[in-house]
Each structure stands twice: as structure tokens, then as C-alpha cells.
Amino acid sequence: MTATPEFRAPGSAPDVPADDLGRRLRQKLIGRPDSFNTRLRARRFSMLLERFPDLDRMEVIDLGGTVRTWTRAPVRPKHVHLVNLEPPVDEVPDWVSVELADACDLPERLAGRGFDLVYSNSVIEHVGGHERRSRFADGVHRLSDRHWIQVPYLYFPIEPHWVFPMFQFLPLRLQVAVALSWPLSGVRPRTRADAMVAVMEIELLCRTQMRHYFPGSALLTERVGGLTKSLIAVTTPH
């Protein structure tokens, strides 16, 4: 792969590689504690607490989550069970348990248990197709009668994973080209084959799909600039 050309604005300081500029901008938007996305997550957590004010007394199962989500949260649940395919990168506190497992095919020791709340943030769009999304949703319903399942909204104009306008509506060939060159991508694929897999792995959802997978749930909307950015399927105690 050829080197990325360097960029210099008129009268600017010495050159900064475009990759570094893109990385800095992405960190400002996503990832850092003071980033735009972190502020949105904090607002979303406030919405969660409005629905579940007793979260601090709950045993929560987080499908596809991370330790950092909960160590940075303003309220700590009684216990959090994380289910993820990858081991955690952060130190695991004693009030968090980690299960390396597929959220669409939970081991019986988890699937046969009951939890106070099933939580999942930006995971269902990654699991891989309708059949696996159905299995994911079935697992959610089996684990608890209360859940909070968030997904980025298909029709929000900025695709959140690639941070590129209308990326989700481009032809696949153009999506792959953007993935290989766009400086705001999280981790730029090294090859066209890798980019193809990365692009096809993400399937954002619309309201109709979320209502199909979670028919008995309220469907909340998270808005940015008056536009729906994400959807949240939620059930609360009767």
C-alpha cells in the first residue's frame, strides 16, 4: 500500500501526516473522555437511569460490552456480567464478571439464568445477518423481562463507525474505497479483502427491524441536531 500523502495548510506548522490528523479528529469525536461521542453516551446513560433508577441494585448482563463502559459510568450496578468474544483490555474489578462467549449462542450456564437487566450498546448491528440478530433478540428475551438494547439508526446521515456522510447508502465498491482511504476510520483495513469484510460486517437497523426483533418494547429515540441518531428498545417493570 502506498504511503499516505502529507498535508500542509497555508502558513501552518511543519507537516503532519494525514493519518495523524484523522486520528486526532476522530479522537475528538470518538473515544477520548471529553469527546463528542462520550458526551452522547453520558446523556444516554442518564436516559437509562430514568428508566431504571434502581440500577445500583441490579445484576446486569451486558451483551458485547466492555469493562470501561461500566467503570466510567456514573452509577455502578450491583454486579455486571460481560459477554464478549474478545478478552477485556482493562483491569476487571471484583464487581464485574467476564464470559468469553457468543451473544447469539449463549452457554447454558448463562442462558438458563435470570438477570435484572439485559444491556447492549451498539452490538446488534455487528452480529451478522437476520438469523443471528433473531437469535440475539431471543437471548435477550430469555435472560430477563427488562432490557435496554441500543443500535445506531440506519437513516442518520453520518455513519458512526466510519464517520462518513451517507456511507451506509453507498455501493459496496465505494464503501470499500472509503474504508481504505478515509482518515476518520477507526482502524484502516490493510487490504481490499479486509476492507470488504469490515464493511459487510456492519448492518445498521431501522425502526421496523427493531420493532420486529423487540415487539413488546418501547422504542426510544436518541437525537442529535433534531435527527434520530440511535434507537433503543427498552422494557421496564410493570
pLDDT for res 111: 86
d(CA 87, CA 77): 21
pLDDT digit string, tens, across residues 56-106: 999 999 999 999 999 989 999 999 999 999 999 999 999 999 999 999 999
pLDDT for res 86: 93
Helices (H) and strands (E) in the chain, counts: 8, 11
Q: Can you tell me the mean pLDDT for 192-215?
A: 97
Q: Can you tell me the mean pLDDT for 160-167?
A: 93
pLDDT for res 11: 31
pLDDT for res 8: 25
pLDDT for res 17: 40
Q: Which residues pair with 205 in a beta bridge?
A: 153
pLDDT for res 3: 34
pLDDT higher than 50, residue 14: no
pLDDT digit string, tens, across residues 93-139: 999 999 999 999 999 889 888 999 999 999 999 999 999 999 999 99
Q: Which residues pair with 224 in a beta bridge?
A: 227
Of residues 9 and 175, more confidence is placed in: 175
Closest CA to 46 of 132, 153, 188, 148: 148
pLDDT for res 210: 98
pLDDT for res 42: 84
Please give the share of the chain, as a percent, with pLDDT higher than 70.
83
pLDDT higher than 60, residue 224: yes
- Structural domains of the chain, ranges and CATH numbers in brackets: 14-157+202-235 (3.40.50.150), 162-200 (no CATH)
d(CA 6, CA 23): 14
Extract the runs of DSSP E, i.e. beta strands, from 31-146.
Answer: 59-63, 79-84, 96-100, 117-121
pLDDT for res 15: 31
51 Cβ partners below 8 Å, 6+ apart? 148, 234, 236
Q: Can you tell me the mean pLDDT for 21-47?
A: 69
12 Cβ partners below 8 Å, 6+ apart? none
Of residues 69 and 185, more confidence is placed in: 69
pLDDT for res 112: 84
pLDDT higher than 70, residue 9: no
How many residues in total does the chain contain? 238
